[in-house]
Structure 1
Amino acid sequence: MANLLVRGIDEALVTALKERAVAHGRSAEAEHREILAAALRRPRKRPFAAVLAAIPDVGQDSDFERIDTSGETPDVFD
């Protein structure tokens, strides 16, 4: 495994890292590794069909029909 040395870190960040590590029951070094891993993990890609299938079935088709306003923008905040 490689080593990573980070210099010039603000003392407040170091303190926050140590507090976060204690809260998670880890060493500051283990917490640092977890933060880096979480920040750099790529999100799991889902197929577009799966994303569409996950959309809840709400409303009627007529709820989503475009209303012809003859060029006027309806005031939806009244």
Structure 2
Amino acid sequence: MTALNAIVTGCIMPVITVRNLPDEVHRALRIRAAQHGRSTEAEVRAILEEAVRPTGRAKLGTLLAEIGREAGGIDFEIPHVNSPTDPMSFE
């Protein structure tokens, strides 16, 4: 987000300053960023996001599927219809 976008939308992103970063670490970050085709700043953001993202977090669909399996599964019989349906009437 550019500074202008932040002003227009009223959304201000937090800023972190890292002091006393060793030159070899900064150089390694620049190389890693180039390998991934992004800026050093974008690479640092990606590293931080990966570091704090929860691992093993189950998502809703996974939880619902597990509940279904624990309940012995669900068997739906959906009849196959070969005839065309009548069009909707909006009158």
Structure 1 length-normalised TM = 0.57
Gaps of 5+ in 1: 51-78
Gaps of 5+ in 2: 1-12, 67-91
Aligned length: 49
Give the match for residue 39 of structure 1. Answer: 51
1:26 deviates by 0.2
Larger radius of gyration: 2
Q: Which has the bigger relative contact order, CA under 8 A and spacing at least 6?
A: 1
Determine the C-alpha separation between the residues in 1 that align with 2:30 and 2:14.
22
Q: Residue 30 in 1 paired to residue 42 in 2? A: yes
CA displacement 1:45-78 (0-9 Å, x = unmatched): 346xx6xxxxxxxxxxxxxxxxxxxxxxxxxxxx
Aligned-residue sequence identity (percent) comes to 40
1:18 deviates by 0.1
Structure 2 length-normalised TM = 0.49
Letter in 2 for 1:4: I
User: RMSD over aligned Cα, in angstroms?
Assistant: 1.7
